[in-house]
């Protein structure tokens, strides 16, 4: 494992890059040109891809043009073989976070609305605002960005995640430092940060909330959001359990702001006073079986793990994925098809490896989905009308879409 002392996200000791290849990954993501973008427009590789109800693919990323930064959007009608020219969704530039664990997010409403959330860094280090932009005409035009949370202190509001439930409600969750700052003012100890969320029931015209999910989250790991079989969003995140165990927790989010009880989701007992920059991923079967992947380390031995659990149950015995330097895993479910994917660097090139199950995660077939010799983003799996696909953006090849299982 390689430590990066130059990155600070507000933890007591330091922030950490969580595998031997992670320092390469973090360095490689910044400042490379996407070959599908116009010449001279340099953007980071952190990108989110999603499929709308018709199967059209959309990709949201970042463009830096001189001193200006924008969220940009592209679409593909042929499964990712070709992409439209990038379109800026803001009229005016503003700072946009697009690193490995913190990139623009993309989701769709029940009536074809297109929603994008992102973190806007502020002047003070490690501070930010959660911004939201929407299109009501299929991505042709976008309304001006709004800030999601009511709290406007210049503090950490970062690492946003977004999901839309079956009723069209938009949930946006983020990592928030207001409670830690308040505790420090009272000269009280406070581990980590907190998780908050906001809800919109009017297609993003307004948000209500600053609803707290939990105190004592890790500070710089992405939040996983997934709908359970009842259609309710569930958050999974790296939590700080007493005295300083950075395992994972879960809670169901509700539209009235009363989040469900916190339950523990991993049991590795990893004690570390730092943030691994390595969040989990979560998906549910139609019968409520939970599938999760995460990074952990114990006694100097760690890596990527997968487990499944019956509804409300403790995860089964974890399965280790890949080599010791495997990182940034994702999981997706489509019926009985379950797909896992992770990133791994062999000293020469970076590959996305995976496991595919057609029986709900009982048996597995291993595969290599893609490989590149240059810089690359984290892998993301998404369910589309034609099945699960891997979306992976690389410096050399651009946005790559690889079929991964399921579909009709």
Structure token digits, residue 4: 């990066």
Q: What are the beta bridge partners of residue 339? A: 332, 356
- When pLDDT is cut at 50, 70 and 90, the band that residue 71 belongs to is very high
Query: At a CB cut-off of 8 Å and minimum separation 6, what does 94 contact?
Result: 69, 120, 131, 145
Q: How many residues are recorded in the chain?
A: 408
Q: What is the DSSP string of 5-34?
A: TT--SS-SSEEB--STTHHHHHHHHTTPPP
∠ Cα 259 262 265 (to 5°):
130
201, 255 in Cβ contact below 8 A? yes
Is it the case that residue 214 has pLDDT exceeding 80?
Answer: yes
pLDDT of 359 strictly over 90 = yes
Burial of 185 from C-beta contacts in 10 A (0-12 / 13-18 / 19+): exposed
The DSSP line for 219-267 is SSSPPEEEE-TTS-EEEEEEB-BTTTB--EEEEE--TTS-PPPPEE---
Cis peptide before 243 (omega within 30 of 0): yes
Question: Residues 203, 209, 215, CA angle at the centre, nearest 5°?
Answer: 135
Return the percentage of the chain with pLDDT > 90, whole number: 81
Q: What is the pLDDT of residues 78-125, one digit of tens each?
A: 999 999 999 999 999 999 999 889 999 999 999 999 999 999 999 999
Residue 334 Ramachandran class (φ > 0 left, ψ -120 to 50 alpha, else beta): beta
What are the tens digits of pLDDT across the range 12-64?
Answer: 333 433 333 333 233 333 322 233 333 344 458 999 999 999 999 999 999 99
Which residues lie across from 384 on neighbouring strands?
387
How far is Cα 176 from Cα 102, in angstroms, rounded to an integer?
14
Question: 4 or 330, which is more confident?
Answer: 330
Among 158-162, 308-312, 343-347, name the one with the lowest average pLDDT.
308-312
- Which residues touch 211 (CB under 8 Å, ≥6 apart)? 196, 197, 198, 199, 257, 258, 259
Higher pLDDT, 407 or 303: 303
User: Which residues, listed in sequence order, are joined to residue 132 by a DSSP beta bridge?
Assistant: 117, 146
Min mean pLDDT across 21-35, 37-51, 241-255, 352-366 is at: 21-35
Q: How many CB atoms lie within 10 A of CB 129?
A: 24
Cα–Cα distance, 9 to 139 (Å, whole number): 34
Write down all domains in the chain, each with its CATH number in brackets: 14-405 (2.120.10.10)
Task: Name the strands in the sheet holding 146-147, side by side, starting at the edge strand that comes first in the sequence.
Answer: 105-108, 114-121, 128-135, 146-147
Predicted pLDDT of residue 100:
82
Mean pLDDT of the chain: 89
- The structure tokens listed for 215 are 């105190």
State the pLDDT at residue 408: 58
The predicted structure's pLDDT at residue 21: 35
Average pLDDT for 146-169:
97
pLDDT-derived band at 407 (thresholds 50, 70, 90) equals low
For 281, phi and psi rounded to 5 degrees?
-135, 150
Residue 68 bridge partners (DSSP): 65
Nearest to 313 by CA among 362, 360, 264, 252: 264
The answer for 288, left when phi > 0, alpha when psi is -120 to 50, beta otherwise, is left
Q: Residue 129: enclosing H or E segment and its boundaries?
A: strand 128-135
pLDDT in tens, 265-310: 999 999 988 888 899 999 999 999 999 999 998 767 789 999 999 9
The dihedrals phi and psi of 75, each to the nearest 5 degrees, come to -140, 160
Q: Match 């994702």 to its residue by tokens.
A: 330
């Amino acid at each position: 494992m390689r430590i990066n002392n130059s990155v600070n996200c507000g933890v007591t000791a330091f922030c950490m890059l969580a595998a031997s290849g992670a320092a390469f990954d973090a360095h490689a993501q910044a400042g490379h040109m996407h070959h599908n973008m116009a010449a001279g427009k340099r953007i980071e590789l952190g990108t989110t891809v999603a499929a709308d109800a018709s199967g059209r693919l959309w990709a949201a990323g970042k463009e830096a043009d001189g001193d200006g930064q924008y969220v940009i959007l592209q679409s593909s009608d042929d499964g990712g073989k070709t992409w439209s020219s990038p379109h800026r969704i803001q009229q005016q530039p503003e700072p946009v976070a697009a690193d490995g664990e913190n990139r623009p997010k993309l989701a769709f409403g029940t009536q074809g609305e297109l929603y994008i959330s992102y973190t806007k860094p502020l002047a003070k280090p490690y501070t930010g605002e959660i911004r939201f932009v929407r299109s009501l005409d299929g991505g042709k035009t976008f309304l001006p960005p709004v800030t999601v949370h009511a709290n406007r202190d210049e503090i950490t509001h970062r690492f946003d995640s977004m999901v839309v439930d079956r009723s069209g409600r938009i949930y946006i969750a983020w990592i928030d430092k207001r409670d830690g700052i308040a505790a420090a003012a009272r000269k009280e100890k406070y581990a980590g940060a907190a998780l908050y969320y906001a809800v919109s029931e009017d297609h993003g015209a307004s948000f209500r909330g600053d609803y707290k999910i939990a105190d004592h989250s890790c500070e710089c790991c992405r939040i996983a959001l997934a709908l359970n079989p009842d259609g309710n969003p569930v958050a999974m995140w790296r939590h700080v359990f007493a005295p300083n165990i950075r395992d994972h927790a879960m809670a169901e989010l509700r539209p009235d702001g009363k989040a469900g009880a916190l339950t523990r989701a991993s049991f590795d007992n990893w004690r570390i006073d730092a943030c691994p920059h390595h969040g989990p991923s979560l998906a549910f079967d139609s019968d409520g079986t939970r599938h999760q992947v995460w990074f952990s380390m114990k006694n100097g031995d760690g890596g990527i793990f997968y487990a499944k659990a019956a509804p409300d149950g403790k995860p089964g015995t974890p399965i280790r994925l890949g080599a010791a330097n495997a990182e940034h895993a994702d999981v997706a479910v489509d019926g009985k098809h379950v797909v896992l994917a992770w990133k791994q660097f062999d000293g020469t090139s970076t590959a996305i490896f995976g496991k595919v199950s057609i029986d709900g995660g009982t048996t597995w077939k291993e595969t290599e989905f893609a490989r590149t010799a240059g810089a690359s983003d984290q892998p993301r799996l998404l369910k589309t009308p034609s099945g699960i696909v891997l979306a992976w953006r690389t410096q050399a090849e651009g946005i790559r879409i690889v079929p991964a299982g399921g579909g009709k």
